[in-house]
């Protein structure tokens, strides 16, 4: 019963956050959280480095994914060393891949791709799971490899789902104008669309779409991924880890393939983008993983054990460090600038 209460609470919090974000984040004031003065100009003003809400929401998403992974892996019986090895290696592979694959596919230095990072993580995850199971003490009951992959898939679905709020705040990964949407979609888009304000939003400076009603592809992706993660978690809690893993992969990557046809930002040439090919490649790969990875009985999930591993000073410090590192990596805007000026309020002296 505790597992289902946890799932209900997670769903309630996630959808409440989305309901607020879909209304607030397209507004202009939700792009930048701060501007740091860097170089002083001759007129006394300063050039500023912008810190973005994109970085805040991306760091939040990574944190939620890491916490879910730690909690559920601990609930399956893994110890803290094995959990840190698995999550640490995945992050070490996926974080650089987000920028390196974007440079390779799009030819741009100052952009990121979650799709590319997910592809690399998907390729590496089964082998890292086998490594972690090999490192577990022999006396410990090992969970099936598919259960660990299911946890990774669930954490990823929640992480990217909540990470799409970052895209809304920056106006990137945006949908096509609803005027050009398929006719069967237009009745649904009359009230459900995004209108981005501000010349520094990517939809404005890259496609001149400021103030234009757009297909809410970021919001749709957030909801679809969160629902996929919740459904996969329900299957895992019901004792069906392979089905949970496949649902997480097919739900997220299938939607990635379909949703890219509704986007307006540059995704490369050809009918299918490189990211769509990557997503398609993960589908048979996931099936093969379920067929050939070693099977084992699924132990009873103990959320209290997972929470015990999570609630320790060392783990909390690592999670805080992760949040700060992700914010610094993704929150320092390289494509926007600012002018900062300081003055004294003499009437307050």
Half-sphere exposure of 298 (CA within 13 A, CB side): 22
- First vs last C-alpha separation in the chain: 61
pLDDT per residue as tens, the chain (349 positions): 688 899 999 999 999 999 999 999 999 999 999 999 999 998 989 999 999 999 999 999 999 999 999 999 999 988 888 888 999 899 899 888 888 887 787 777 667 778 788 889 899 999 999 988 887 766 467 889 999 999 999 999 999 999 999 999 999 989 989 988 878 888 888 788 999 999 999 999 989 999 999 999 999 999 999 999 999 999 999 999 999 999 999 999 999 999 888 888 766 566 888 888 999 999 999 999 999 988 888 888 999 999 998 888 989 999 999 999 999 999 999 999 999 999 999 999 8
Cα 175-61-107 angle, rounded to 5 deg? 50
Instruction: Report the phi/psi class of residue 181: left, alpha or beta, with left for phi > 0 and alpha for psi in -120 to 50.
Output: beta
- Return d(Cα 165, Cα 4) in angstroms, integer: 26
Q: Is 7 exposed, middle or buried (0-12, 13-18, 19+ CB in 10 A)?
A: middle
- Return d(Cα 127, Cα 145) in angstroms, integer: 10
Q: What is the DSSP letter of 177?
A: B
Residue the block writes with tokens 């392979």: 242
Secondary structure class of 48 (helix, strand, coil): strand
Secondary structure class of 66 (helix, strand, coil): helix
Report phi then psi at 223, rounded to 5.
Answer: -65, -40
What is the pTM (predicted TM-score) of this model? 0.92
Which residues, at least 6 apart from 69, have a Cβ–Cβ distance to it below 8 Å?
83, 86, 87, 151, 152, 155
Q: CA 324 → CA 14, 63, 166, 256, 278, distances in Å?
A: 22, 10, 16, 28, 29
Pairing, β 46-52 against β 338-340: antiparallel
């Amino acid at each position: 019963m505790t597992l289902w209460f946890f799932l209900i609470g997670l769903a309630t919090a996630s959808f409440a956050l989305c309901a607020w974000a879909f209304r607030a984040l397209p507004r202009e004031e939700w792009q930048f959280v701060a501007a740091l003065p860097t170089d002083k100009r001759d007129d006394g003003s300063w050039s500023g480095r912008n810190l973005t809400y994109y970085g805040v929401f991306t760091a939040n998403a990574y944190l939620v994914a890491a916490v879910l992974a730690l909690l559920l892996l601990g609930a399956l019986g893994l110890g803290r060393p094995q959990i840190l090895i698995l999550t640490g290696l995945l992050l070490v592979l996926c974080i650089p891949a987000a920028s390196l694959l974007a440079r390779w596919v799009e030819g741009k230095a100052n952009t990121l791709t979650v799709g590319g990072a997910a592809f690399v993580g998907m390729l590496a995850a089964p082998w890292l799971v086998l490594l972690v199971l090999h490192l577990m003490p022999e006396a410990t009951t090992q969970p099936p490899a598919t259960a660990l992959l299911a946890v990774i898939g669930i954490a990823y679905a929640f992480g990217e789902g909540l990470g799409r709020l970052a895209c809304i705040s920056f106006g990137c990964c945006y949908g096509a104008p609803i005027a050009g949407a398929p006719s069967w979609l237009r009745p649904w888009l009359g009230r459900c669309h995004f209108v981005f304000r501000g010349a520094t939003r990517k939809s404005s400076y890259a496609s001149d779409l400021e103030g234009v009603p757009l297909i809410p592809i970021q919001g749709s992706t957030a909801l679809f991924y969160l629902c996929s993660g919740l459904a996969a978690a329900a299957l895992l809690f019901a004792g069906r880890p392979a089905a949970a893993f496949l649902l997480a992969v097919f739900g997220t990557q299938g939607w990635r393939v379909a949703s890219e046809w509704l986007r307006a930002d540059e995704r490369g040439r050809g009918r299918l983008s490189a990211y769509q090919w990557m997503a398609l490649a993960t589908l048979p790969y996931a099936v093969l993983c379920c067929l050939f990875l070693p099977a084992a009985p699924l132990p009873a999930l103990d959320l209290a054990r997972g929470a015990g591993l999570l609630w320790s000073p060392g783990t909390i410090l690592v999670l805080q460090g992760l949040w700060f590192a992700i914010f610094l990596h993704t929150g320092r805007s390289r494509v926007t600038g600012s002018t900062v000026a300081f003055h004294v309020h003499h009437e307050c002296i």
